Amino acid sequence: GQSLEQPSEVTAVEGAIVQINCTYQTSGFYGLSWYQQHDGGAPTFLSYNALDGLEETGRFSSFLSRSDSYGYLLLQELQMKDSASYFCAVRDPNYGQNFVFGPGTRLSVLP
């Protein structure tokens, strides 16, 4: 089967740096994706790591270690608008064309 684990909640202040971790157990693995979802909205794609290492996109960075079945999303210079839920997802080739999502991490950014 497939399972992903994330912390349920994270709180930080404006301007700070926060890291959201994701560990996964899947029978196969193409890569790890991250999505942001604001309350009442649909998830939006943030980043994708297929290979080990760090990918940087503006204030957001994502890291993957395939040997450790672990990744994280790093958010720098936090802003109030970053308050949202963040989901990691794995695309498992042994699971058809499907994306398996983690339970999500609720990030609250305080002034």
Partner 1 sequence: SQTIHQWPATLVQPVGSPLSLECTVEGTSNPNLYWYRQAAGRGLQLLFYSVGIGQISSEVPQNLSASRPQDRQFILSSKKLLLSDSGFYLCAWSPGVLTGELFFGEGSRLTVL
Question: Which residues contact partner 1 (rule: CB under 8 A)?
Answer: 30-33, 35, 41-45, 48-50, 87, 89, 91, 93, 96-104
| Rounded distance between C-alpha atoms, residue 81 and residue 2, angstroms | 31
> What is the smallest separation between the CB atom of 28 and partner 1, expressed in angstroms?
12
* Structure letter (DSSP) for residue 98: -
Nearest approach, Cβ of 87 to partner 1 (angstroms)? 7
Report, in Å, the least distance between residue 15 CB and partner 1.
27
Q: Between 18 and 71, whose beta carbon lies closer to partner 1?
A: 71
Min CB(9)–partner 1 separation in Å:
11
Q: How many angstroms separate the CA atoms of 94 and 96, rounded?
A: 6
SS3 content of the chain, % helix, strand, coil (to 5): 5, 60, 35
- What are the DSSP E strand ranges found in 26-69? 31-37, 44-49, 53-57, 60-65
Cβ nearer to partner 1, comparing 8 with 16: 8
CB nearer to partner 1: pick between 70 and 101: 101
Q: How far apart are CA 74 and CA 13, in angstroms?
A: 14
